[in-house]
Amino acid sequence: MKVLVVKLTSMGDTLHLLPALSDLQQHNSEVQIDWMIEQSFAEIPAWHPSVDRVIPVATRKWRKFSGSSLKEFLQFWRTLRARKYDVVIDAQGLIKSAVFARFAKLERGGQRIGFSAASIKEKPAARFYSTRIDIARDQHAIERLRQLFAQAFNHSYDDNSCNYSINTEPAQSHSDTVVLLHGTTWPSKHLPEAYWHELVKHAAADNYQVILPWGNDAELQRAERIAAQHDSARVLPKSSLHDLRTTLSQAAGAIAVDTGLGHMAAALGVPTVSVYGSTNAKLTGAVGHNQHHIQATYPCSPCLLKHCDKLTEQVTVEPCYARIKSADIWALLHEHLA
């Protein structure tokens, strides 16, 4: 059976899909899966043993018409249309992903499958599917995807286990290294920078070295400011997703905000404490072996707002994080370090 999975973004969302692929592979070991994904995350699908082809897209770039973007799109079109699929399944549930899923060719009797309109935010996307599956929205993203695949391919799964099936090279753990995953997208998901300084001090007091990865200029500047004040902290060089996977798999543990790299740590089984303020750990929290969540207890948390509406000239730190102590974050991680 040939299957095309459409899951374009983000890092966390793509990692959330891996357990559903593991379920499908366990049910049908002969399944051949292609995965359509944004170029910036195209390394991730190849980590799963069931994925045959990775088909990258560059939707933002292609919106701006140019000779090079047209050439890239035509190459994508030829690659995609070179194979027919028994099933095309949109695991994103957006209008954009539904449109791209329609570009694929089906075998005679093939199906285009996706979430029902009631199961997704962008309801018109469901019109693009021949089969629509109702999945309750008040569940974790991983559970929703596993249910989608279980119903689409008529199999069951063990909800007491979560197997990402990531292909990894053998790595020797550096038991004195902790990774601080300080970078994220929404401003409201960021821990105040002072907390990271305090966490470095806690780690150093227990004889741990700290590694600070980064993915953009703002994250690099923050990492450099932190490392400049602490001899036990160092900034990681610019790294690919593969390099970051290796760094995490070799670490004793990690501390994260709600970020894609936190989900990568979870997929690798690295002991991790993740802090959630504006977002809901029950819906998008890191899932895996030795994962621990600290959810803010402020009345409006989780607000799901990109920008905190409580900040003023006098209130400069999100109130939900003000109730969380760096010592408690470190103590929780330290309890589970090897």
Strand partners, 55: 36
- pTM recorded for the entire structure: 0.93
Domains and CATH numbers, the chain: 2-153 (3.40.50.2000), 174-336 (3.40.50.2000)
**Distance (Å) of CA 142 to CA 15, 23, 159, 169, 274:** 9, 12, 10, 25, 17
Structure-token pair, residue 93: 């549930």
Helix and strand numbers (H, E) in the chain are 12, 12
pLDDT tens-digit profile, the chain (338 residues): 999 999 999 999 999 999 999 999 999 999 999 999 999 999 999 999 999 999 999 998 898 878 888 999 999 999 999 999 999 999 999 999 999 999 999 999 999 999 999 999 999 999 999 999 999 999 999 999 999 999 999 999 999 999 999 966 545 555 899 999 999 999 999 999 999 999 999 999 999 999 999 999 999 999 999 999 999 999 999 999 999 999 999 999 999 999 999 999 999 999 999 999 999 999 999 999 999 999 999 999 999 999 999 999 989 889 999 889 999 999 999 999 96
CA-CA distance, 53 to 278, in Å (whole number)?
36
CA-CA distance, 170 to 179, in Å (whole number)?
19
**Order of strands, sheet of 233-235, starting from the edge strand that comes earlier in the sequence:** 233-235, 209-212, 174-181, 251-256, 272-276, 291-295
Q: Which long-range contacts (CB under 8 A, 24 or more apart) does 72-78 make?
A: 77/103
Strand partners, 127: none
Q: Is 37 exposed, middle or buried (0-12, 13-18, 19+ CB in 10 A)?
A: buried
Question: Would you state the pLDDT for residue 67?
Answer: 87
Question: Would you state the pLDDT for residue 85?
Answer: 98
ω into 271 cis (within 30 of 0): no
Question: Would you state the pLDDT for residue 64?
Answer: 84
Q: Give the list of residues 6+ apart from residue 196 with CB closer than 8 angstroms, or none.
A: 180, 182, 222, 226
Look at the alpha carbons of 243, 60, 49, 273 in this order and tell me if their dihedral is positive or negative.
Answer: positive
Question: Would you state the pLDDT for residue 63?
Answer: 85
CA-CA distance, 42 to 9, in Å (whole number)?
10
